[in-house]
Amino acid sequence: MTKFYRFVRGIAIILTKTLFRVKYKNMDKLPKEGGVILCANHISWWDPIFMAAKVKRQIFYMSKDELFHVPVLKTIVRGLGAFPVKRGSADRSSLEQAMEVIRGGHILGLFPEGTRSKTGEMGKFKSGAVMLAGKLEADIVPVGISCKGKVRPFKKVYMTMGDAISYKDLGIEKGVASELRAASALLMERVRELKED
């Protein structure tokens, strides 16, 4: 964990205990070491902050490329270990970086919906997470995030972590589209089950 990440994590912890009312459940299910993929639904841009406050290992996120074109913001985002991905295209550079994170024994954070939900309802999961899991034989740890209405200060936000999904249980053998769709549906269902009503 870098010094900058540790500093930001300290601020995140303060925010989740004062400005927000984040309720965590089963967050100890994350392996204490080894490369793993952390997948959650995406309800607000606060999600990575809430996650960092409770997860003691540094999380490396694939983040939308637009964030890296804003002068001050790009410095902060990179300092947190995030790296850019161009949405809607086969971004080989970001894929290589994601693979290096997992191979290096770190946590790769992904929001498989690809963007924040405007309604609170989960969007269809893209196949990138399960593709990486199958290719690198990495387990996926699902997380469900929920809030009644939009995430705002002093509102309750629920974050629940589930049991790791073994790459073997994803059923990816050849990496064909049908296998990836089925694996993405399985991951989506596991995350949905973790969301608080």
Give the pLDDT confidence score for residue 143 in this predicted structure: 96
Q: Please report, in tens digits, the pLDDT of each residue of the chain (197 residues total).
A: 778 888 888 888 888 888 888 999 999 999 988 999 999 999 988 888 888 889 989 898 887 666 666 666 667 677 777 776 766 555 577 788 888 889 999 999 999 888 777 777 788 998 888 998 998 999 999 999 998 888 889 889 999 999 999 999 998 888 889 999 999 999 999 999 998 75
Q: What is the DSSP string of 79-136?
A: HTT-EEE-TTS--HHHHHHHHHHHHTT-EEEE-TTSS--SSSSPPPPPSHHHHHHHHH
pLDDT of res. 37:
95
Q: Write out the two tokens for 80.
A: 């947190």
Query: Structural domains in the chain?
Result: 3-194 (3.40.1130.10)
160: Cβ contacts below 8 Å, ≥ 6 apart: 24, 25, 26, 143, 144, 194, 195, 196
What does the chain come to in residues?
Answer: 197
Contact between 39 and 112 (Cβ < 8 Å): yes
Can you give the pTM of this predicted structure? 0.86
pLDDT at 11: 84
Residue carrying the six token digits 């469900």: 144
Q: What are φ and ψ of residue 22, in 5° steps?
A: -85, 125
Residue 91: per-residue pLDDT: 59
Percentage helix, strand, coil for the chain under 3-state DSSP, each rounded to 5 = 40, 20, 40
User: Which pLDDT score is estimated for 4?
Assistant: 80
